[in-house]
Amino acid sequence: MQTSVNGTTINYRLDGPSDAPVLVFSNSLATSLAMWNDQVERLQGRFRILRYDNRGHGNSPATPGPYTLELLARDVVGLLDALELEKVSFCGLSMGGMVGQWLGMNAPDRIDRLVLSNTAAYFPNKAMWRERIEMAERDGIAAIAEASIRRWLTPGFLERASSSETVDRVRKFVVETTVDGYLACCVAIRDMDFRDDLAKIETPTLVIIGEKDPATLPEYGEVVARGISGAKSAVISDAAHLSNIEQADSFTRTLADFIAA
């Protein structure tokens, strides 16, 4: 389904009982709402699950960039308004977690519980983002797919024959992302700095950390957790960046226990 939001069109999907508590999932850079399929399969009997594609990702078209995290977060507020959802729980991974931080700081009346997974409040290495932007501009989105997969999943997971279908699914996320959307979101992430504002978040918050995440290092998640008064943190063992996919059972159980507490 699609709806007009904040000057663009946002693709979204709702699953689960219409009278259940609403849980929103926000995708990471260069993925789509399908990255949450494992969670929907496990939770749709307990929650009304809203997933959406960030602009320039999945089936949400790219608008002219660059973007900011505020713009991406206001897309969420607009989507909630369009669907007449007053207050929800929110789980975002990586870029989605950055969107969640903005919402916690600036739209606390809309968020019941907040889960920030495999994310950061700031990236000190600006050169890394410059290199990714230059590669995507020069060689296209497919050029970053293999490097992304190696950051997002642990070597052990990648080496297992049983993982091949999942790896192909993750690769498909990347190559189906628009170059313009990827570039615009890279700039938003590169320029983000929420460190001094984390203390504004008063919503009950859980920070999920991938034990072996090389993309958003565990210490980045620890900074977020320390900056939010009363925040809890949980480490997903033997997981890299896409901890919700690599360790779906552990991730989903950790998420659901916090939301339902």
Query: How much is the pLDDT for 151?
Result: 95
Report yes or no: 32 and 59 within 8 Å, Cβ to Cβ: yes
Pairwise CA distance, residues 163 & 220, whole Å: 27
pLDDT value of position 161: 74
In the chain, the N- to C-terminal Cα span, in Å, equals 31
- According to the model, what pLDDT value does residue 162 have? 81
Output the pLDDT for position 261.
84
Residue-range domains of the chain with CATH: 2-260 (3.40.50.1820)
For the record, the structure tokens of 198 come out as: 């984390």
The amino acid at 153? L
Alpha-carbon distance of 201 to 211, in angstroms, equals 24
Predicted local confidence at residue 29, as pLDDT: 97
Contact 250, 221 (CB under 8 A): no
Low-confidence ranges of the chain (pLDDT < 70): none
Predicted local distance difference test score (pLDDT) of residue 212: 98
Residue 174 CB contacts under 8 Å (≥ 6 apart), including other chains? 30, 31, 141, 142, 144, 145, 148, 149
Q: Which conformational region is residue 256 in: left (phi greater than 0), alpha (psi within -120 to 50 degrees), or beta?
A: alpha
* Predicted TM-score (pTM) of this structure: 0.97
